[in-house]
Structure 1
Amino acid sequence: MSEDTIFSKIIRKEIPANIVYEDDLCLGFRDITPQAPTHILVIPKKPIPKLAEAGTEDKELLGHMLLTVKSIAEQEGLGNGYRVVINTDEDGGQTVFHLHMHLLGGRYLRWPPG
């Protein structure tokens, strides 16, 4: 069984969030501590703790999430570019153990990221 996270509570609407996208498979909402003018998190409704624990059965879900990020980026007017980040495990900077994709944009994003 997966740990109950803040993202699980957002999915269940127990915690409010500024939701910009929702379908049967995933949810997109604005990050409460944005690192760029546009910072949206896209999370699966299926509780996958981290990318390292996704299986081959999640292939369609992961593809759907990436296409959702693309759609949200278009909706947000990020035609000049954006970055998609998946942090995995503690050394990768993951703080909430529910798989999520960060959509960052609205400014020039330097490389390397940090």
Structure 2
Amino acid sequence: MAYASRHPEKGSSAIALRLELPRGRIRSWLDGSAPDAVQAIGTAREYGWIDADYGDPEFRALNALVANVFSVGSIEQTYYQPTCRTGGTDRPEGRRRSLAAGLSRGSTRRNS
């Protein structure tokens, strides 16, 4: 970003060549954008998930979702989304949806 700010006339190819980095790593930072992982951290911070303490509802919901992915799922490679097998008699997909819905409602820590 520092190099790009000092050389605003240069495009992603020229910057990548100069910094000896793949163009894909450069392009995602130009024109005010950021890579998906950085945007995800910003979203997590906005919802109060990063600063959640052990007793907070956000912590419990995130912990349960992570345990669910690790126990019956994985992280899908194409879009880095959690995936889980479903089925059985306890209908685990309903539990995941319930936890995700609780997280998506926001938090009392959310900056609005």
Structure 1 length-normalised TM: 0.22
Greater strand proportion:
1
Larger RCO (CA under 8 A, 6+ residues apart): 1
Greater helix proportion:
2
* Pair member with larger Rg: 2
